Chain A
């Protein structure tokens, strides 16, 4: 088998992976970035709204307020040390991007343009703050391209269209790299490194209605589970309130930040009932639930009453064209309406995974072990949407994901440098390092009676029906029973195409295995958590229950076990924000 050796390996070429890679490549180490699509086609490219940092360019602001909002936004499930770290580093991370050449929009005086986003406040819960830095409505694209160019200049080596299969670990648990498949040639590869970072992004394709691109199949999460490591807080999925009805594509919160608002079939601005203060800019989970209730109670719009409307024509064509050009185009193309003239039909869409691979502040993957609940897995890191550090807690605030990518991408890169210095030589590679991966590939060279695409569709519908905005024990149990049936079908699935070159059917089969693992982690964790918190709404347990559930859940594949670990309520230097009722 083809063996490639690097100092450091980054799996994933989105914002998180590229920020970490840059730190390493600039220090002169040999860094490989493996990505299943060309890196600049990573999902980061679709981030429209912006990146949050308390620069105070438009209005008074302080990173401590950002910290408070993030703790509250996450319904107290976020670790307050990690949140403090992120909010404190935010300004420097954004200025660093500016210096790298990220073309931010500008205010009249030349400073970086900022817009208000949901959940942002001044003075610890006071008036709306204006905190999200934007490059028009294409901040993610600008960020990704800037980081990619910087990496090219720093001589990061890219393996494009290479699909990572499994982690390789030795008997002592050290991560030694990954096995992978070159999509073009069909050749398996063993990529060895003294430090490996997973930055494989989200898994939103596990739901039927999703704002996520097709590549978001949770591959890094599947790799971690197969390696016997746990996933954290997998019951927490953010349903973005405003996906284009029936399609899923996202209408950014920036639309409401710029003054757009939501209406039901009676033309009522219903958010005034659910969040009298913040109204349309309340936390995403609050707005998504409000829309789901309006629809469920018969106040939805359209012939089937299955959406509400986002109105922004009152902003005027000029403001829409200047501030939200992509959104106008998107709604013309996918909803057939020009928002400068008519409202956009919207409904909640699965958008972001708050849970993921548990890590510490340095991006080191942690797992319960002999000496404690959070021991680093040597040589293994994770950053970005696939990771759970946990800054987003039970519900992410808009603009905080791009921030998470660059702050923790940089932190992980720095820590990986230390690991490389302390471990100057590669550890011996076990003889059977690739055996499990080769067996998986061989399994997908066989024909079978079931089709991968049909199972993928059924899986996504199952998750949508049984594990959506509202959940109960009965829906979750039904979802698990359905998942058992789908897993039995998966065992019978095979491929008719056994070619090696660009065998996309095989890649889709491997992705389905990862999606299945993510679905099970989500359903089992959601069933275990008998409370409602942030984005996880149990109709049969409608209250937040801090006495029993102010803790992270840790799902392990072995025996479908759900364990727990404490939430870090103590920040690094600030006063702890004590749990209180979350009202907007």
Chain B
């Protein structure tokens, strides 16, 4: 992935809610080098959702029709459990 594309994703992790800034920005910074192209594409799709939608789906954990997105939400939940509940 070009630096421009990675930076575009980084900018789109800037959200209206601090908690999503922390989660999405933290996730991208930590995982950008290791995500597979299809996972990166799913992450960009996820960033296209509204803040509330992302927060609700993180919370609800209801299965969605988009399996890739659902895997990513699981991944975010795990990342959050490891990183944010125990802030530095």
Contacts and interface: CB of A to CB of B under 8 A. Distances in A.
Contacts of B21: 213-214
A141 B50 contact: yes
Given A45-B51, A247-B87, A333 B14 contact: no
B80 interface: yes
Interface string B59-88: 100000000000000000000100011110
B37 interface: no
A247 B52 contact: no
Given A183-B11, A334-B85, A503-B7, A249 B52 contact: no
Nearest to B60: A329
A101 interface: no
Given A145-B50, A502-B8, A41 B55 contact: no
Interface in A18-46: 37, 40-46
Interface in A40-68: 40-46
A323 B47 CA distance: 27
Contacts of A325: 59
B33 interface: no
A248 B18 contact: yes
A145 B18 CA distance: 18
B7 A45 contact: no
Contact of A210 (B18, B25, B84): B18
Given A141-B52, A184-B8, A499-B3, A214 B58 contact: no
A37 B18 contact: no
A497 B84 contact: no
A145 B52 CA distance: 11
A44 B11 contact: no
A330 B19 contact: yes
A144 B8 CA distance: 24
A259 to B, nearest CB: 23
Nearest to B50: A40
B1 to A, nearest CB: 12
Contacts, number: 98
A45 B17 CA distance: 7
Nearest to A326: B55
A8 B34 CA distance: 45
A37 B52 contact: no
B19 A334 contact: yes
Contact of A249 (B4, B18, B50): B18
A563 interface: no
Contacts of A72: none
Contacts of A44: 16
Contacts of B11: 37, 161, 183, 502, 504, 507
B15 interface: yes
Contact of A37 (B14, B58, B84): B14
Nearest to A212: B18
B22 to A, nearest CB: 7
A571 interface: no
A327 to B, nearest CB: 11
A44 B4 CA distance: 28
A43 B16 contact: yes
B4 A499 contact: yes
Interface residues of B, number: 29
Contacts of B50: 40-41, 45, 141, 145
B46 interface: no
A336 interface: yes
A213 B84 contact: no
Contacts of B16: 37, 40-46, 144, 213, 215
A484 to B, nearest CB: 29
A378 interface: no
A161 B14 CA distance: 11
Given A41-B51, A183-B11, A333 B58 contact: yes
A251 to B, nearest CB: 11
A43 B21 CA distance: 11
A335 interface: yes
Contact of A504 (B10, B17, B19): B10
A504 B11 CA distance: 6
Contacts of A248: 18
A141 B51 contact: yes
A211 interface: yes
Contacts of A249: 18-19, 22
A501 interface: yes
A213 B22 CA distance: 9
Interface string A203-240: 00000001111110000000000000000000000000
Given A145-B50, A213-B14, A215-B16, A246 B87 contact: yes
A328 to B, nearest CB: 9
A213 B4 contact: no
A333 B80 contact: yes
A138 interface: yes
Nearest to A500: B4
A41 B19 contact: no
Nearest to A325: B59
Contacts of A504: 7, 10-11
B43 to A, nearest CB: 15
B14 A334 contact: no
Nearest to A245: B87
A45 B53 CA distance: 11
Contact of A41 (B14, B22, B86): B14
Contacts of A43: 16
Contacts of B12: 37
A333 B15 contact: no
Interface string B20-43: 111001000000000000000000
B87 to A, nearest CB: 5
Q: Looking at B3, B19, B20, which has the most chain A CB atoms within 10 Å of its CB? A: B19
18 contacts: A41-B14, A46-B16, A138-B52, A145-B50, A214-B14, A214-B25, A215-B15, A247-B84, A247-B87, A249-B19, A329-B55, A333-B19, A333-B80, A336-B86, A499-B4, A501-B8, A502-B4, A504-B11
Given A138-B52, A212-B18, 8 more contacts: A45-B51, A46-B16, A141-B52, A213-B16, A213-B17, A213-B20, A214-B21, A334-B19
